[in-house]
Amino acid sequence: MLPFRLVYHEGYDLHLGGHVFPAQKYRLIRDRLIARGVAEPADFDEPAPATDEQLMLVHDRSWVQRLKFGTLSYNEIVKLELPYSRHVVDGFWLAAGGTLLAARNALRDGIGFNIGGGFHHAFRAHGEGFCAIHDVAVAIRALQHEGAIRTAMVLDLDVHHGNGTAAIFAGDSAVHTVSFHQLENYPHEKPPSTIDVHLADGTGDAEYLTKLNEVCSLAIPGYKPDLLVYVAGADPYFEDQLGGLSLTMEGLRERDRIVFETARKHRVPVAVTLAGGYAVKTDDTVAIHCGAVEAARESW
C-alpha cells in the first residue's frame, strides 16, 4: 500500500467526448496506478461534494447559485469553454470536496493526493478556461475557517498562469501564491501572484528545473506555510496541445521530486492536485500524472 491516501471519484469524468480537455484521464490514471501495482484499490478515498457554504467561502453566492440552477448566461458559458450540464456542475462540487479531503489527509499524513482538481482559472464570480469552481481556494478557506491552518502556499506548475488563484488571494498575507508558467500563453491578463516566474516559449528541462530549485529552496522554508497546495499540471510537456514549453517526461518527474523533497525536508504538508494536461496522446498525460504519484511515493 502507498504511505499516503489518493482521492478519486468516478464523477470526476465530466464525459466531454471529443473536447480538448480529456476529463476521462482521471479514470485512466486510477486504472493505470492499480494495473501497474503502484496503488491498490484500498489506497483510494472517495470524497463527498463540497457544500454550498464551503464554496461560498470563496465564490459569490450568485455565481454558486447560477451554476447550481443552470441560469448561466450565454457569455458565461462561452467564457467557461465547457458545455453546461448537471453532471459537469456536480463534477466541480466533487473536485472541491476532493481537494479538501486531500488537504486534510496532508495535514495528517504529510501528503495528500487528489486525482483531480487544480481548477485555477476560476474567479470569485465567474469561471473561465475549463474552471468553474476554484477547488484549491475552497480547500484553503475551509481549513482556515475551521482553524485547522492559518497560512497556506499555492505552488502552481501548470503551463498556464494561475490567474484565478492570484486574484482570489490578492492582498492576503496569509496565503502566498507562486506560479511558473509560459508567458505568451493563456490567460492574456495575468494578475500578479506573490511570485511569478514567466517562462519563454520552448523553455526546457534544464532552465525550468534550475529556476524551480531556486524558488522552492527559498520560498517553502521562507514562508513555511501550514499547508502547501501543489498544482501539478502535466501541460508543460513538449507535446501538449495547449502548451508551448518543452519539458520531457523525465523533466516533469524531476520537477515533482523537487517539490516533494523540499516540502518533506522542511516538514511542510503538501496537498496535490493535477490541473491541466492536453498531450497529443492522452496516454502521455496519464503517464505524467501517474509519475507524480510515483515521485511522491519515492519521496515519502
Chain segment 199-218, per-residue pLDDT in tens:
999 999 999 999 999 999 99
Burial class (CB in 10 A: 0-12, 13-18, 19+), 70: exposed
pLDDT at 300: 82
The closest alpha carbon to 196, from 213, 209, 215, 169, belongs to 215
Q: What is the dihedral of CA 202, 207, 212, 217, to 10 degrees?
A: -170
pTM as predicted: 0.97
Distances (CA, A) of 179 to 12, 24, 146, 215: 24, 26, 27, 10
63 is written with which cell numbers? 455565481
Domain parsing of the chain, residue ranges: 5-12+20-299
108 is written with which cell numbers? 495528517
- The answer to whether residues 72 and 91 touch, using CB atoms and an 8 Å cutoff, is no
Is the backbone of residue 287 left (phi > 0), alpha (psi -120 to 50) or beta? alpha
281 is written with which cell numbers? 496522446
pLDDT, tens digit (0-9, with 9 covering 90-100), for 37-72: 999 999 999 999 999 999 999 999 999 999 999 999
For the 5-12+20-299 domain, the top CATH level (class) is alpha beta
- The answer to whether residues 113 and 297 touch, using CB atoms and an 8 Å cutoff, is no
